[in-house]
Amino acid sequence: MDKDTSSKSRNVCCSPESVESFGRRVVDMLQAYTRGMFGRRKFYAVHKEARTVIIQAAVRAWIARQRYEKTMRGIVKLQGHVRRKAAKKELKRLKVGTTEL
């Protein structure tokens, strides 16, 4: 009787249904692994693109600030030249006025 029960349990273990069930679990695990791998790749690609956009925005802002500061320095320098010329003209006018007295 012991042989019958052990052979019966062995047959249940290796029955076509249990082999099919095991194969299905393996396929499910492989699909899950593959989907996870592709999901991670997509996530990293999107994340890398987002970081690239942030860096590009920072660089563009820096370039814009540099251009603005250079323009402002030029404007201040031009104002200085115009004021200097006006001051020299005013000084010349005042000198001519004092010599006539």
CA distance 6 to 13: 11
Tell me what pLDDT residue 87 has: 96
CA distance 57 to 72: 22
Sequence-distant (6+) residues with CB within 8 A of 18 are 12
- The residues spanned by each domain of the chain are 2-99
pLDDT in tens, 40-53: 999 999 999 999 99
Please return the burial class of 69, using the count of CB atoms within 10 Å of its CB with bins 0-12, 13-18 and 19+. exposed
pLDDT in tens, 2-41: 555 554 555 555 676 777 788 888 899 999 999 999 999 9
